[in-house]
Amino acid sequence: MLTPPDESLPPFERLVQLMKILRAPGGCAWDAKQTHESLIPYLIEECYEVVDAIEEGQSEQLKEELGDLLVQFVFHGIVAEEKQSFEINEAITAVVEKLIRRHPHVFGDVKELGTAAEVRQQWEKQKLSEKQADGKQKRLLDGAPKSMPGLTQAFRLGEKAAGVGFDWPDAESVTEKVHEELDELKAAIESGDAENQAEEIGDLLFVVCSLSRKLGVNPEQALKGSLRKFRRRFTFIEESVIDSGKSWDEFTLEELESRWLEAKEVQEKNNE
């Protein structure tokens, strides 16, 4: 039996020591087997669980999920140390230094920035200048991972382009573009060209994400809110069908829509 980490250590150091013990000979066979690649699904899952806890307003759950996410950070850091790629503290030091550089309006001689949008623009410009100074070939949009969910990626690509001045002037101009994309989608539908239809739907979604950014709305969160609302209302309809003792195909679309409106009225009354 191995000895657990020293309880007198600071919490972060104790976690690091614990993970090293689990990876060591005589530790946990599963932990010892993991690699950067094998841990990817768990990292993504933990990120989503943190998001769920935030959106549900559960502070105790958030505390637990942030701890689980921290385990993933430490896990990857230890794997990197074992491969002699870098040490955990190097990653922490690097991000602290980066945060200081990216806030010249706080720690440097740049004038104070009045809005969050101005800070975001300054961040993107500072990031781009750092990459150029390092002689790296990365481009501005490389900072938005391609593995991101589509809506989030669209939002971030728009943010990054806007950070260097490539953006619509206001929400109204984006709205006009939404109507333009809708007209193009209608034309594609009329043509019967499936490939073109898919392309136009993608363009429409991208522009809607830009509109949401202009309005200060996160499209991923907005869509999830609508999905939660749909779940509640559809569940109301489903319970109504079950209580009737009938099957779905015994109801007309008009009858189902009537129950949908009833669900909407009830839930709006209850502020759901």
Give the tens place of pLDDT for each residue, 214-268: 999 999 889 988 999 999 999 999 999 999 999 999 999 999 999 999 999 998 8
DSSP 74-110: HHHHHHHHHTTS--HHHHHHHHHHHHHHT-HHHHSSS
DSSP 25: T
Write out the two tokens for 195: 């490939």
255 CB contacts (<8 Å, ≥6 apart)?
none
Share of the chain above pLDDT 70, in %: 97
113 CB contacts (<8 Å, ≥6 apart)?
105, 119, 122
Is the pTM above the cut of 0.85? Answer: no
CA distance 51 to 69: 11
Domain coordinates in residue numbering, the chain: 11-101, 221-269
Label residue 203 by pLDDT band (50, 70, 90). very high
Is the CA virtual torsion 102, 105, 106, 112 positive or negative? negative
Run of H or E residues at 66: helix 59-82
| Superfamily of domain 11-101, CATH level 4 | MazG-like (1.10.287.1080)
CA distance 225 to 3: 47
Label residue 171 by pLDDT band (50, 70, 90). very high
Q: Is 85 exposed, middle or buried (0-12, 13-18, 19+ CB in 10 A)?
A: exposed
